[in-house]
Structure 1
Amino acid sequence: MSIVPLIKVNMVGVLDDKDTVLEAAQAFGSLHLIPLVSAQKELEAVPAGLGRDAVDALRWLVDCSDQRRPETRADKFDLDDVVEKTLKNRKALKTCQDLLAKLERRIQDVEPWGEFSFSDLAEIGDNRLWFYVVPNGKLREIDPSDKILETVHRDRFRSYIVLLAPEEPETGAMPVPRTHVGAIPLSALRQRHEDAAIDLEELELERQALTKWRFVLAQNLAAARDTSARRRAALETADTGRVFVLQAWARRDQVSEIETLASKLGIAALFEDVTEEDAPPTLLENAHAMEAGEDLVEFYQTPGYRDWDPSAIVYVSFIVFFGMIMTDAGYGLLLLLFLFLFRKKFAGSALGRRMYRMSCWLMVSTAAFGVATGSYFGVAPPEGSILNHFKILHLKDVDTMMKITLTIGVVHIVIANFLRAWHERTPSGRYQPVGWCLVALGGLATFLGQGTVVATIGPTSVIFGLLLVGFFGSDRKVDSVASGGLRIFDGLAALARIVNIFSDVLSYMRLFALGLAAASLAETINSLSGQLNQSVPGIGILIAILVLAIGHAINIGLGLIAGCVHGLRLNVIEFFNWGLKDEGTPFRPFKKEETRL
């Protein structure tokens, strides 16, 4: 694990060659550009002519469930025509779906009234038809002596009544407001519904046919974004007369490659080392197995360029913490099986492959801690069995589990302070973390070694650590009474963090609490399903299986959320708080965009 050393590159060339140089730099794909001039902030990612319409069209085609074989030849592709047809299809298809839903609701409302059509007013003595849906319990409130009405349909709860009158009856004449049925007969509504359903099928087939252009459309969008990125980069170079200067950060080990590129382009390449005034971006580099740790770190905070890379430690500790929180062998193995079955879903990108590897290790950790605590879907292994021999942790042994989790917390924070001291260069930066290491270890020794010789060493370590922290509270030079007073104030301010280290260590108790909660919930689910099976003969076993499936699914979901949130929180809050000093900016290479579907 390391932060890659960088060097500042200045490319100087003729202004007429700037576009060529930018395209070559983008193809090189390893330069983090430094803006020398403020670019237009409103410059869009996709230029006019492609715009959001093309992005929306591509999304519409990619989301189609039935995909055609993609066309890869661009000679038959007309961008404007494909985008226009796709967006027209989307609008028509959504309109048709809305019409179908409206017709289905209308048919459902009209169906109880049966097939009818309105007669001419003159044929029925200038009377009109008024429709009412009356709950059966309110039928007694209707006075039929002064009304011409007919019940055309009745079910268990409602009666459908048609009233004949020249004007709408006054409020109160009927127990419910009238229903608006409309003038379109039921047969006509059904015919319209059938026509709309046929139109919808044709639109879906048209959408399916258009999906063959998704790959070429994605290529055009990627090329458009590349062009837009070069346009922005061109605005951020320093141009003077006929000369331009392109400045960027690059890996120090790529100097020879950059020199070769500059020679090929016929431009000058000048290199500068990083100075104290510079604020370079941070490029993390880890072994293949630990790459996912970079994603975990940058999810919350990128370490400063002059800091250290915590990716490997965060990766390992996150896996351990996650396993302690879920702590069930059955859950871990089940989810590991699901990961294996859906492994191809992760293979489409480098990020997906990293997440797949990390997810597998998370499930292995969950299974391992489940074996250690003897939890298999909340069921403990029988006494004397082989699995029972591997049960070395007892979640309900509060004293032991508290000691284990507090030890983990102290070790985690000590590692953070030690690595910070290792990478610092000032006396204060080096010895303050060492002092906090002594405080944390001394406090742990006092807690664990009660009644032993270790308990007497603990307070001594705490006192010595606090003296170290207070004395090296700052690097302020004492050359007067005022500066001496300020130095004392700095030391006292540094000592105030003893509250932080105490609360941060206690935060690791959540590992035990959440693990115990997950195991207890699993046991409760099993107990509840067993009681249901015994109390309801016959069908009880089906109810018990349903309770088991739903209950354990909920418990797994809660465990995944808790494992991710709290497992990551202990790293990015408690660990980073003691281990990292500065926050940096991530290294963003100027490179061509990949075509993705």
Structure 2
Amino acid sequence: MTIVPLVKVNVVGILDDKEKVLETAQAFGMLHLIPLTSAQKDLEAVPQGLGRDAASALRWLMDCPAQRRPVTDHDRFDLDAVVAQTLENRKALKSCEDLIAWLGQRIRDVEPWGEFSFSDLAEIGDNRLWFYVVPTAKLKHVDPADKILEIVHKDRYRSYIVLLAPEEPPVSAMPVPRVHVGAESLSTLKRRHDDALIELEELELERQMLTKWRYVLAQNLAAARDRSARQRAGLETADVERLFVMQAWARRDQTEEIQDFAAEHDIAVLFEEVSQEDAPPTLLENAAAVEAGEDLVEFYQTPGYRDWDPSAIVYVSFVIFFGMIMTDGGYGLLLLLLLYLFRKRFAGSDLGRRMYRMSVWLMISTTAFGVATGSYFGVAPPPDSFLGHLKFMDLKDVDAMMKITLAIGVLHIVLANLVRAYHAETPSGRYQPVGWCLVALGGLATFLGAGTFLAEAGPAAVVLGLLTVGFYGSDRKVDSVRSGGLRVFDGLAALARIVNIFSDVLSYMRLFALGLAAASLAETINNLSGQLNAAVPGIGILIAIAVLTLGHGINIGLGLIAGCVHGLRLNVIEFFNWGLKDEGKPFRPFKKEETRL
């Protein structure tokens, strides 16, 4: 496990060749570009380009209920035209659906008033029509005196009244405010509604026709995204007169390849070592067996370039913690079988293969802890059986399980501090973690060693650890009374973390609590199904099987969630809190996307 050393690469080329250089650099795929432009707002305002549009278009076509036979001939395919036509179809179809919904509501609102059209004002003495929907209970409050009105429709709950007046009547004239019916007649609205339905059918037919391009569009999607990435990368270069400058980070062990690449494409390249002012991205590199640990680490926090790579430790500890939380041999073997049956689903990408290897180890860990605790779908084997002899842990032994989980927590945090001390470069960075190791181990020895010499050595280790932490609270040089006081303050501030180490160690008790909860729930499900079988003769066996299937399915789902969330949380919260000092940004090479057919 290591963080790969990087160098800064400066590329200088002719401005007219920039697009060609960017395309070849993208195919080269070894450079993490450094933005040189100061116009960040302009850069953010640049649209995502055809890549995002092509993805949206493909999703729109794939979601179409009716699919046409796909075209596989690339010569007949125009990416820009198909994407534009598909997105226009989606926009028009959604607008048409909105119009149909609006017209439907307008028809329902106007229908009670019947078919009418507004006459010329001069024909009706410059009077206007004012519309009111009056609930039946308020109809008695309508005073017809000095008003020209007509009830044009009436149902069980309301009356539809038209009032004739040159100006809008005052609010007090009617018991309810007037409603806006609109100028379009009912027949006009229905005709527009029918036209919109016809247009919707035509648009749906056009969408079906466009689905024939889904296959070649999926193949060209990566190319579209690559083009968009090049467009954005072109805005991040510094262009001066006829030249452009592109800056990037690259692996130090690939400098010769980069030089050969530059010579092949007639561009100048200059390498710079990482300086203290630089903040390079972090490129993690691990053996294939623990490579999935990089995904676990970067899921929460990428370590800084000058820090260390915790991927292997996080991978192993996550596998162990997951197994302790699931802790059922039957569940582990069942999930192993499912992984084997669906193994081809993971073979399509590097990420899938990494996840498959890790999942297998997670299930092996679950099976191993299930065997150790004697739990198989919540059933304990007889003590004199072969499986019974393999059991050496009892989840219901609260005292023993508390000691085991607290010991695991202490060892995990001590490991984090030791690795941090090993990679530190200052006295404070080296000895402060050692002091916390003494505090954690001393506290554990005091808890576990009651009645032994550890009970006396433990408190001494705690005191020695706290003195070490306080003395090396900082690297501030003491050359005056003021600096001496500040150094004392630094030591006291460092000692305040004793609360953190105490609470972090206690957090590991969730391993025991969640494992016990999963085992207890499995046992409860078995008891419940047995009671149902006995209570309902005959059909009870079917009910019991349904309860067993559903209950254990839910328990497995809860176990998977708990194992992932809490198993990962103990690594990225508690472990990272004591093991890492800097947060970095991941190394993202400027490269072409893989084409997935």
TM-score (norm 1): 0.79
Residue-by-residue CA offset, 1:35-56 (whole Å, 9 max, x unaligned): 1113533354543xx4765332
Shift of the 254–68 alpha-carbon distance from structure 1 to 2, 3 Å rule, reads farther
1:334 Cα offset (Å): 1.1
Q: Which amino acid letter does the alignment assign opposite residue 16 of structure 2?
A: D
Shift of the 439–526 alpha-carbon distance from structure 1 to 2, 3 Å rule, reads same
- Whether the 8 Å contact between 1:504 and 1:574 is mirrored in structure 2 is yes
1:73 Cα offset (Å): 3.3
Shift of the 499–51 alpha-carbon distance from structure 1 to 2, 3 Å rule, reads closer
Query: Does residue 341 of the first structure (1) align with residue 341 of the second (2)?
Result: yes
CA distance in 2, matches of 1:577, 1:507: 13
The residue that corresponds to 1:524 in the other structure is: 524
The residue that corresponds to 2:376 in the other structure is: 376
CA distance in 1, matches of 2:153, 2:28: 82
CA distance in 2, matches of 1:515, 1:167: 69
1:84 Cα offset (Å): 6.3
Q: Which amino acid letter does the alignment assign opposite residue 589 of structure 2?
A: P
Shift of the 78–35 alpha-carbon distance from structure 1 to 2, 3 Å rule, reads closer
1:337 Cα offset (Å): 1.5
1:72 Cα offset (Å): 4.4
Residue-by-residue CA offset, 1:279-330 (whole Å, 9 max, x unaligned): 1100001111111111110111000000000001111111110110010111
The residue that corresponds to 1:58 in the other structure is: 58
CA distance in 2, matches of 1:232, 1:78: 23
The residue that corresponds to 1:246 in the other structure is: 246
The residue that corresponds to 1:360 in the other structure is: 360
Residue-by-residue CA offset, 1:214-267 (whole Å, 9 max, x unaligned): 342134432232222222222222222322221111000000000101111122
The residue that corresponds to 2:256 in the other structure is: 256
- Whether the 8 Å contact between 1:323 and 1:365 is mirrored in structure 2 is yes
Q: Which amino acid letter does the alignment assign opposite residue 528 of structure 1?
A: L
The residue that corresponds to 2:43 in the other structure is: 41
Q: Report the 3-state secondary structure (helix = DSSP H, G, I; strand = E; otherwise coil) of the residue aligned with 1:41.
A: helix
- Whether the 8 Å contact between 2:43 and 2:232 is mirrored in structure 1 is no
The residue that corresponds to 1:445 in the other structure is: 445
Residue-by-residue CA offset, 1:511-535 (whole Å, 9 max, x unaligned): 0000000000110110011111111
Q: Report the 3-state secondary structure (helix = DSSP H, G, I; strand = E; otherwise coil) of the residue aligned with 2:477.
A: coil
The residue that corresponds to 2:331 in the other structure is: 331
After superposition, where does 1:107-256 map in structure 2 within 5 Å? 210-256=210-256
- Whether the 8 Å contact between 2:262 and 2:269 is mirrored in structure 1 is yes
CA distance in 2, matches of 1:67, 1:325: 45
The residue that corresponds to 2:468 in the other structure is: 468
Q: Report the 3-state secondary structure (helix = DSSP H, G, I; strand = E; otherwise coil) of the residue aligned with 1:461.
A: helix
- Whether the 8 Å contact between 1:45 and 1:225 is mirrored in structure 2 is no
CA distance in 2, matches of 1:86, 1:503: 56
Q: Which amino acid letter does the alignment assign opposite residue 286 of structure 1?
A: N
Q: Report the 3-state secondary structure (helix = DSSP H, G, I; strand = E; otherwise coil) of the residue aligned with 1:474.
A: coil
Over the matched positions of the two proteins, sequence identity in percent amounts to: 77
- Whether the 8 Å contact between 1:46 and 1:221 is mirrored in structure 2 is no
Q: Which amino acid letter does the alignment assign opposite residue 256 of structure 1?
A: E
Shift of the 284–83 alpha-carbon distance from structure 1 to 2, 3 Å rule, reads same
CA distance in 2, matches of 1:356, 1:205: 42
Residue-by-residue CA offset, 1:543-574 (whole Å, 9 max, x unaligned): 11111111111111111111111101100000
CA distance in 1, matches of 2:434, 2:273: 31
Q: Which amino acid letter does the alignment assign opposite residue 342 of structure 1?
A: F
CA distance in 1, matches of 2:10, 2:88: 49
Range that drifts further, 586-595 or 63-72: 63-72
Q: Which amino acid letter does the alignment assign opposite residue 41 of structure 1?
A: L
Range that drifts further, 274-283 or 345-354: 345-354
1:596 Cα offset (Å): 3.3
CA distance in 2, matches of 1:374, 1:363: 16
CA distance in 2, matches of 1:301, 1:15: 38
Q: Report the 3-state secondary structure (helix = DSSP H, G, I; strand = E; otherwise coil) of the residue aligned with 1:247.
A: strand
Q: Report the 3-state secondary structure (helix = DSSP H, G, I; strand = E; otherwise coil) of the residue aligned with 1:263.
A: helix
- Whether the 8 Å contact between 2:54 and 2:224 is mirrored in structure 1 is no
The residue that corresponds to 2:573 in the other structure is: 573
TM-score (norm 2): 0.79
CA distance in 2, matches of 1:41, 1:528: 62
Range that drifts further, 248-257 or 12-21: 12-21
CA distance in 1, matches of 2:265, 2:83: 37
- Whether the 8 Å contact between 1:412 and 1:575 is mirrored in structure 2 is yes
CA distance in 2, matches of 1:528, 1:203: 55
- Whether the 8 Å contact between 1:46 and 1:224 is mirrored in structure 2 is no
CA distance in 2, matches of 1:27, 1:63: 32
- Whether the 8 Å contact between 2:7 and 2:249 is mirrored in structure 1 is yes
CA distance in 2, matches of 1:208, 1:359: 40
- Whether the 8 Å contact between 2:8 and 2:247 is mirrored in structure 1 is yes
1:95 Cα offset (Å): 11
- Whether the 8 Å contact between 1:44 and 1:228 is mirrored in structure 2 is no
Residue-by-residue CA offset, 1:486-529 (whole Å, 9 max, x unaligned): 00110111111111101100000000000000000110110011
The residue that corresponds to 1:350 in the other structure is: 350
Q: Which amino acid letter does the alignment assign opposite residue 498 of structure 1?
A: I
CA distance in 1, matches of 2:333, 2:392: 19
Report how many residues are paired. Answer: 509
Query: Does residue 303 of the first structure (1) align with residue 303 of the second (2)?
Result: yes
The residue that corresponds to 1:515 in the other structure is: 515
Residue-by-residue CA offset, 1:109-138 (whole Å, 9 max, x unaligned): xxxxxxxxxxxxxxxxxxxxxxxxxxxxxx
1:592 Cα offset (Å): 1.3
Shift of the 258–72 alpha-carbon distance from structure 1 to 2, 3 Å rule, reads farther
- Whether the 8 Å contact between 1:43 and 1:232 is mirrored in structure 2 is no
- Whether the 8 Å contact between 2:413 and 2:574 is mirrored in structure 1 is yes
Q: Report the 3-state secondary structure (helix = DSSP H, G, I; strand = E; otherwise coil) of the residue aligned with 2:43.
A: coil
1:26 Cα offset (Å): 1.0
Residue-by-residue CA offset, 1:451-484 (whole Å, 9 max, x unaligned): 0112211111111111111110000000000000
CA distance in 2, matches of 1:19, 1:89: 32
The residue that corresponds to 2:146 in the other structure is: none
The residue that corresponds to 1:162 in the other structure is: none
After superposition, where does 1:555-594 map in structure 2 within 5 Å? 555-594=555-594
Shift of the 372–93 alpha-carbon distance from structure 1 to 2, 3 Å rule, reads farther
Q: Report the 3-state secondary structure (helix = DSSP H, G, I; strand = E; otherwise coil) of the residue aligned with 2:467.
A: helix
CA distance in 2, matches of 1:65, 1:365: 43
Q: Report the 3-state secondary structure (helix = DSSP H, G, I; strand = E; otherwise coil) of the residue aligned with 1:75.
A: helix
Range that drifts further, 386-395 or 85-94: 85-94
Structure 1 residue ranges without an equivalent (≥5):
102-165, 173-191
- Whether the 8 Å contact between 1:61 and 1:211 is mirrored in structure 2 is yes
After superposition, where does 1:98-113 map in structure 2 within 5 Å? none
Range that drifts further, 210-219 or 503-512: 210-219
Over the aligned positions, Cα root-mean-square deviation in angstroms equals 3.0
Q: Which amino acid letter does the alignment assign opposite residue 394 of structure 1?
A: D
Q: Report the 3-state secondary structure (helix = DSSP H, G, I; strand = E; otherwise coil) of the residue aligned with 1:42.
A: helix
Q: Which amino acid letter does the alignment assign opposite residue 406 of structure 1?
A: L
- Whether the 8 Å contact between 2:51 and 2:226 is mirrored in structure 1 is no
1:410 Cα offset (Å): 0.5
- Whether the 8 Å contact between 1:417 and 1:579 is mirrored in structure 2 is yes
Query: Does residue 8 of the first structure (1) align with residue 8 of the second (2)?
Result: yes
The residue that corresponds to 1:138 in the other structure is: none
CA distance in 2, matches of 1:417, 1:308: 12
Q: Which amino acid letter does the alignment assign opposite residue 537 of structure 2?
A: P
CA distance in 2, matches of 1:343, 1:289: 17
Structure 2 residue ranges without an equivalent (≥5):
102-151, 159-193
CA distance in 2, matches of 1:218, 1:44: 24
CA distance in 1, matches of 2:75, 2:456: 83
CA distance in 2, matches of 1:580, 1:282: 13
After superposition, where does 1:415-494 map in structure 2 within 5 Å? 415-494=415-494
Q: Which amino acid letter does the alignment assign opposite residue 275 of structure 1?
A: S
